Amino acid sequence: MSDRVTSARDEILGNVRAALAGTAPTPRPPIPHGSAPDDVVALFAERVADYRAVVERCTKRQLPARLKAALPEGRVVVPAGLSVTVPDAVVDGQPGGLTAAELDACAAVVTDVAVGIAETGTIVLDHGPGQGRRAITLVPDVHVCIVRADQVVADVPDAMPRLDPAVRRGKPLTWISGPSATSDIELDRVEGVHGPRTLHVLLVG
């Protein structure tokens, strides 16, 4: 490494250290041992909202109306085996998967999930029935996730037994913590670069 590169690196790191001087990450309090399921679900909703996702709690009976209201105008794609009916939606994978161009023409995707993790506000897809291919959750601009209250667990260790069957079958896992987002060198947040710009979670139960 040349002296010029080393000097530039040191200057950048020095600027970062100066900008962070006197700051410290705010630790999230741990989930109390023995928390009731309702407390865990409430924490999950709070943590998901922290990531700038839209979170709505509803009953199973209210779900169709809430889902309809959450969807933007335009084409909607859904995976085979989705737990709810989305009128006029295009089903991916019947008989073949949509192309990248066809997915790009879709305004939104609706999926079920494998598990929700309260401590981190993370949603995990194992791409089983109702979740579909990974591509359909990455291309449309809006992702609506349907999460049942009984799918929410306290933390990552509690999630692993539910995900283990998919892992053993060699299936991919997609871990979602809010809408797709990144920051440039000026630390300006930009959403929608690597996936959906909007994450809308319908928490049922």
Q: What is the band of 18 on the pLDDT scale with cuts at 50, 70, 90?
A: confident
Query: Is the confidence at residue 190, as pLDDT, over 70?
Result: no
pLDDT, tens digit, 9 for 90 and up, residues 96-127 = 789 989 999 999 999 999 999 999 999 999 99
Residue of 203, 138, 141 whose CA lies nearest to 176: 138
What is residue 193's predicted lDDT score, i.e. its pLDDT?
46
Range from 21-25, 67-71, 88-92 carrying the lowest mean pLDDT = 21-25
Residue of 146, 157, 164, 161 whose CA lies nearest to 203: 146
CB neighbourhood size of 195 (10 A): 19
Do the beta carbons of residue 171 and residue 128 sit within 8 Å? yes
Look up residue 69 and give its amino acid: A
Q: Under CATH, domain 29-204 is a member of which superfamily?
A: NagB/RpiA/CoA transferase-like (3.40.50.10420)
Beta-carbon contacts of residue 135 (< 8 Å; ≥ 6 apart): 97, 100, 103
Query: Is the confidence at residue 167, as pLDDT, over 60?
Result: yes
